[in-house]
Structure 1
Amino acid sequence: MSRKTAAITKSKASRKPTAPAEIAAVRLPAPGEGKRGEQGYLGYLLRQAHAAVRLTMERTLADLGVTSPQFAVLTMLNAYPGLSGADVARLTFLTPQTVGVIIRNLDRDGAIVMTPHPVHGRIQQWTLTQRGTTLLKACRERVIALEKRLAANLDAKAETAIRRWLAGIAADLQED
């Protein structure tokens, strides 16, 4: 393997601007432009889209006192009652520590309740309370409106293909 020349390895930050154009401020591209658009890496575009959805969801749920991660926890506990905190962390892509804080807050607010596992006494299982179900319903109405906005320009076939593609990525890359 050949060694890189000094010109290649020298950082751009360490060299002095040679022309007035280099001194001018760089304009950041807006979403959809340059590398933030169709020229960008797929992974970056997925992350950019996720960040936009999450910010919009945070704003949408703020007056209900629910964060995007809390919504994810409520959703998974509704879909799979009796999950442990570790299971919730795996399903929501959150750290166990973050899920612990979320669970304590939801428990304190009366949205979820803990029951000991029938066989493994050290495992705590979590389920939604009536308050949690009501809160999740209010959140879901808003999130469904956001989902409709996301799919507004898609026909049913395209939406199905995108859902299949996204789920396939997760399934395919989970072993890496």
Structure 2
Amino acid sequence: MEDATQRLGYRVKRAAAALRGALDRALREHDLTVPQYACLELLDQRPGLSNAELARGTFVTRQSMNTVLRGLQDSGLITRPAAADHGRALPAHLTEQGRRRLDAARSAVYAVDQRMTDAVPPERLADLLADLDRMAAAFER
């Protein structure tokens, strides 16, 4: 029987789990979870995204994103209208407090990302990124 720990999928999952653990630790100092941070980043880039758009962009379910958004709203980091203007979407926006929290957490997250990037020889980084994109695309067909 083949050693499953030598399979590519196992190695990718191991790297993702290590990254998630490092991000969890870094964000704990800023009283944020990884999905909360990802949500704040997306709202900084594209204000007014809906629950469904944020869920897709942060790789969580809509139900989970509802919980994330409620927590961010209760903490004063985002605002959403009480009712939708049309349809069911409630566009979310960062508050000034949310922007400050994001700015403070961003350097911690970037430091984790840089640590991971530094583990790859510079001459191989572009190929690794292209390979990761191809792996993801293999499942989008």
> Shorter-chain TM-score category?
0.7 to 0.9
- Aligned twin of 1:126: 92
- Aligned twin of 1:71: 37
Tell me how far 1:109 sits from its aligned partner.
0.9
- Aligned twin of 2:138: 172
Q: TM-score, normalised by structure 2?
A: 0.86
CA distance in 2, matches of 1:170, 1:105: 30
Tell me how far 1:123 sits from its aligned partner.
1.2
CA distance in 1, matches of 2:56, 2:91: 15
Structure 1, unmatched stretches of 5+, are 1-33
Which has the higher relative contact order, 1 or 2, with Cα contacts under 8 A spaced 6 or more apart? 2
Tell me how far 1:88 sits from its aligned partner.
0.8
Tell me which amino acid in the other structure corresponds to 2:131. W
Larger proportion of helix? 2
CA distance in 2, matches of 1:35, 1:132: 42
Count of matched residue pairs: 138
Tell me which amino acid in the other structure corresponds to 1:92. T
Tell me how far 1:170 sits from its aligned partner.
2.0
- Aligned twin of 2:25: 59
CA distance in 2, matches of 1:63, 1:167: 31
1:66-102 Cα shifts (integer Å, max 9, x gaps): 1111111111222222111011111111011111011
Asked if 1:110 corresponds to 2:76, the answer is yes
Asked if 1:145 corresponds to 2:107, the answer is no
CA distance in 1, matches of 2:119, 2:20: 20
Tell me how far 1:172 sits from its aligned partner.
3.1
Tell me which amino acid in the other structure corresponds to 1:158. R
Tell me how far 1:164 sits from its aligned partner.
2.2
Asked if 1:95 corresponds to 2:67, the answer is no
Structure 2, unmatched stretches of 5+, are none
CA distance in 2, matches of 1:159, 1:125: 37
CA distance in 2, matches of 1:153, 1:45: 15
Tell me how far 1:157 sits from its aligned partner.
4.1
Tell me which amino acid in the other structure corresponds to 2:18. A
Tell me which amino acid in the other structure corresponds to 1:109. S
Q: TM-score, normalised by structure 1?
A: 0.71
1:123-156 Cα shifts (integer Å, max 9, x gaps): 1111211111111111110011111110113344
CA distance in 2, matches of 1:72, 1:79: 11
